[in-house]
Structure 1
Amino acid sequence: MFVVIISDIHDNLTNLKKSLSWCKENQVERLICCGDVCNSDTLKYLADNFAGTIDLVLGNMELYEEKEISRYKNINYLGLFGIINLAGKKIGICHKPELIAKVKEFGHCDLIFYGHTHQPWIREEEGVLIANPGTLGGVFFKASLAIWNSQTGGLELKILELMNNGLIEN
């Protein structure tokens, strides 16, 4: 199963539509959002246009009210940070990198995803794979996301191209 990880949408509906289209074409059933969706309309679009479960943490730029999230049955809201169990792995999720330590306090994670910096990258730290999918909104860096293959354990960063309606590897 592919799990798509996004962050820092910042109301860029064009890029959100392209990424969700890829998710649909590739039968993605799980999406992790590391915060900064921004306004209520973007949150609604995300929830209404992804058929699977969305694990969501709060970013620092959200304009929607937290109580709005309960309207969407496919959103698993974790607050500022949380841990989910998926495919036999413990996955930590937060927005700001300084919250990674808080995630680790809850116990060992196999992977930790976060956002905020907009810079996509992957590193291993003490046996934990830590990744930032970058900014889907394309602010300061090219629009990007991450894809985790839960069967193989492979994790890739992808650059979302605005042309050809698809994803390419960089």
Structure 2
Amino acid sequence: MKIAILSDIHDNIWNLDVILKHIQHTHTMLFCGDLCSPFVLVKIGEGYNKPIHTVFGNNDGDRAHITRLSKNYSHVHLHGEIMKETFNGNLFCVNHYPEIALEIAHSNKFDVVCHGHNHQFHISSDNKTTLINPGSVMGYLPREKKDVDPTYVIYDTVTREAEGYKLNGIKEVSLYSAIL
């Protein structure tokens, strides 16, 4: 089973459209927060017809409207601040914040822990747990005030391989691959 992991769209529907085309072969999507505007949920719900599991980020301001819109898409599952789900024997935990994700990862209770928030792509493994930050769909590092390539991750639950991708213009380029 292949799982697309995305985060921090921040209303950049142009990058999102490109990434959605690239992830159609995956079986489910995990989203680590910061859709931002409610219409982004509509773009995801209509652009990806397989299960979508999402948590809220700090910039998802109109959570009530996002929640109402999600009811129009039976394949979209909102989990609030944190998601705990098993996919093909792999126990996942998703939240938005790196500090929380790091603590959860150190507990070694999960196979994969995912987060977003800082827009910095990262994959690492510590004992049992793989920690994944898919970077941002937005393609910007706010703290450094600079544009970066939009990134996302595809995780294979059979091989336990996490592979990062970046968009270089409109072309998808492999960024990082590790069997964890």
TM-score by length of 1: 0.89
TM-score by length of 2: 0.85
How far apart are the structure 1 equivalents of 2:159 and 2:99? Answer: 29
1:103 positional shift: 4.5
Segments of 4+ moved more than 4 angstroms: 101-107
1:13 positional shift: 0.5
1:76 match:
77
What is the aligned-residue identity percentage? 24
How many equivalent pairs are there?
166
How far apart are the structure 2 equivalents of 1:31 and 1:83? Answer: 14
1:44 positional shift: 0.7
1:145 match:
152
What is the RMSD of the two structures over their aligned residues, measured on CA atoms? 1.9
Structure 2 counterpart of 1:39, which letter?
Answer: S
How far apart are the structure 1 equivalents of 2:164 and 2:79? Answer: 23
Structure 2 counterpart of 1:93, which letter?
Answer: V
Structure 1 counterpart of 2:89, which letter?
Answer: G
Residue 152 of structure 2: SS of its match in structure 1?
strand
How far apart are the structure 1 equivalents of 2:105 and 2:89? Answer: 17
1:19 match:
19
1:22 positional shift: 1.0
2:8 match:
8
1:109 positional shift: 0.4
Which structure has the higher relative contact order (CA within 8 Å, separation 6+)? 1
Residue 16 of structure 1: SS of its match in structure 2?
helix
How far apart are the structure 2 equivalents of 1:44 and 1:139? Answer: 22
The answer to whether the aligner puts 1:109 opposite 2:98 as a matched pair is no
Contact 2:105 2:129 in 1 (8 A): no
Structure 1 counterpart of 2:3, which letter?
Answer: V
1:100 positional shift: 2.0
Q: How does 1:85-104 map to 2 (within 5 A)?
A: 85-100=86-101, 103=104
Runs of 5+ consecutive residues of structure 1 not aligned to the other structure = none
1:168 match:
173
1:169 positional shift: 1.3
The answer to whether the aligner puts 1:155 opposite 2:153 as a matched pair is no
1:107 positional shift: 7.7
Q: Deviations over 1:104-142 (max 9, x none)?
A: 699810000100010001112342110100001101232
Runs of 5+ consecutive residues of structure 2 not aligned to the other structure = 142-147, 176-180
Residue 71 of structure 1: SS of its match in structure 2?
coil
